[in-house]
Amino acid sequence: MVSRKITNKLLFWLDGRTGGQKVGLLLLAGVLSAFSFAPFYLFPLLAISYPLLLLILFKSNRFLEAFSFGWWFGFGQFFTGLIWLASAFEVDDRYAGWVGYLAVAGLGTLLAMYSGLVTGLLWKLYKGKDPRQYGLSITLSFVIIWNLAEWARGNLFTGFPWNLAGYTWGFSDVMLQTASVWGIYGLGLLTIFLALIPYLLIQRPRKKYAAFKIIVAGVLISGGMVTFGMVQLSEPTNYRDDVKFKIVQANINQKDKWDPQKKAENFLKHLSMSKSLPDEGITHVIWPETAVIYFLDTEPSRRFLIADMLSENAVLMTGFPRVKRSPEFKAWNSFVVVGGGGEVRNIYDKHHLVPFGEYTPDILSDSLSFLGLGMLVEGFSYSRGKEIRTLHLEGAPPVGVLICYEIIFPGQVVNQNDRPEWLLNITNDAWYGTFSGPYQHLLQTRIRAIEEGLPIIRSAGTGVSAVIDAYGRMKKSLGLNKQGVIISPLPAKRDIATLYSTNGAWIFQLIMILLCIFNVLFHRQ
Are residues 244 and 229 part of one domain? no
β-strands 330-338, 344-349 pairing: antiparallel
Per-residue burial over 61-83, b if 16 or more Cβ lie within 10 Å, else e, is eeeebbbbbbbbbbbbbbbbbbb
Are residues 298 and 221 part of one domain? no
Q: Is 428 part of a structural domain of the chain?
A: yes
Mean pLDDT of 30-47: 97
Q: Is 498 part of a structural domain of the chain?
A: no
Tell me the C-alpha distance between 65 and 54, whole Å: 13
**Amino acid identity of 351?**
H
Residue 372 φ then ψ, to 5°: 85, 15
Looking at residue 279, its pLDDT comes to 84
How many structural domains are present in the chain? 2
Beta-bridge mates of residue 468: 456, 474
Q: Is 323 part of a structural domain of the chain?
A: yes
Mean residue pLDDT of the chain comes to 92
Whether cis (ω within 30° of 0) applies to the bond prior to 315 is no
Q: Is 427 part of a structural domain of the chain?
A: yes
Q: Is 152 part of a structural domain of the chain?
A: yes
Q: Name the residue range of residue 324's domain.
A: 239-493
Residue 376 scores a pLDDT above 60? no
How many Cβ atoms from other residues are within 10 Å of residue 217's Cβ? 15
pLDDT in tens, 457-469: 999 999 899 999 9
Tell me the C-alpha distance between 193 and 185, whole Å: 13
Whether 460 and 445 have beta carbons less than 8 Å apart is answered as: no
Which has more pLDDT, 501 or 277? 501
Q: Is 403 part of a structural domain of the chain?
A: yes
**Is 132 buried (19+), middle (13-18) or exposed (0-12) by CB count in 10 A?**
middle
* Category of 355 on φ-ψ map: left (φ > 0), alpha (ψ -120 to 50) or beta: beta
**Is 84 buried (19+), middle (13-18) or exposed (0-12) by CB count in 10 A?**
buried
Residue 88 scores a pLDDT above 90? no
Are residues 350 and 274 part of one domain? yes
Note every long-range contact of 405-408, with CB atoms under 8 Å and residues 24 or more positions apart, other chains counting: 405/350, 405/352, 405/353, 405/354, 405/358, 406/350, 406/351, 406/352, 407/441, 407/444, 407/445, 407/448, 407/456, 408/161, 408/162, 408/441, 408/444
Are residues 244 and 203 part of one domain? no
Looking at residue 380, its pLDDT comes to 59
Displacement of CA 362 from its chain's centroid (Å): 25
Are residues 343 and 221 part of one domain? no
Give, for 347, the enclosing helix (H) or strand (E): strand 344-349
Displacement of CA 439 from its chain's centroid (Å): 10
Whether 258 and 293 have beta carbons less than 8 Å apart is answered as: yes
Q: Where are the beta strands (DSSP E) in 377-483?
A: 390-391, 399-403, 422-427, 456-460, 465-468, 474-478
| 3-state per-residue secondary structure call for 475-503 | EEEECCCCCEEEEEEEECCCCCCCHHHHH
Whether 420 and 399 have beta carbons less than 8 Å apart is answered as: yes
Residue 455 φ then ψ, to 5°: -70, 155
359 band by pLDDT with thresholds 50, 70 and 90? confident
Are residues 163 and 16 part of one domain? yes
| 468 three-class SS | strand
Lowest pLDDT segment from 151-155, 243-247, 379-383 = 379-383
Are residues 171 and 318 part of one domain? no
pLDDT in tens, 126-140: 998 988 889 999 999
Looking at residue 373, its pLDDT comes to 42
β-strands 315-324, 284-286 pairing: parallel
* Category of 19 on φ-ψ map: left (φ > 0), alpha (ψ -120 to 50) or beta: alpha
Lowest pLDDT segment from 149-153, 380-384, 520-524 = 520-524
Within a 13 Å sphere around the CA of 311, how many CA atoms are in the beta-carbon half?
A: 16
- Say which DSSP state 295 is in: -
Positions marked active-site: 289, 350, 404
Are residues 151 and 81 part of one domain? yes
| 3-state per-residue secondary structure call for 214-253 | HHHHHHHHHHHHHHHHHHHHCCCCCEEEEEEEEEEECCCC
CA distances from 176 to 60, 104, 147, 397, 468 (A): 36, 28, 17, 27, 14
Whether 184 and 166 have beta carbons less than 8 Å apart is answered as: yes
Residue 369 scores a pLDDT above 50? no
Whether cis (ω within 30° of 0) applies to the bond prior to 39 is yes
Are residues 315 and 225 part of one domain? no
Whether cis (ω within 30° of 0) applies to the bond prior to 489 is no
Are residues 161 and 38 part of one domain? yes
Residue 393 scores a pLDDT above 50? yes
**Kindly report the CA angle at 502 between 497 and 504, in degrees rounded to 5?**
130
Q: Is 499 part of a structural domain of the chain?
A: no
Mean pLDDT of 89-113: 87
289 band by pLDDT with thresholds 50, 70 and 90? very high
Looking at residue 205, its pLDDT comes to 62
Angle between helices 19-34 and 46-57 (to 10 degrees): 150
CATH number for the domain spanning 361: value is 3.60.110.10
Are residues 250 and 226 part of one domain? no
Looking at residue 207, its pLDDT comes to 66
Portion of the chain with pLDDT greater than 90, in percent: 78
Looking at residue 374, its pLDDT comes to 47
Displacement of CA 54 from its chain's centroid (Å): 26
Whether 176 and 447 have beta carbons less than 8 Å apart is answered as: yes
Are residues 103 and 17 part of one domain? yes
Residue 43 scores a pLDDT above 60? yes
Residue 92 scores a pLDDT above 90? no
Looking at residue 3, its pLDDT comes to 65
Q: Is 398 part of a structural domain of the chain?
A: yes
290 band by pLDDT with thresholds 50, 70 and 90? very high
pLDDT in tens, 477-513: 999 999 999 999 999 999 999 999 999 999 999 999 9
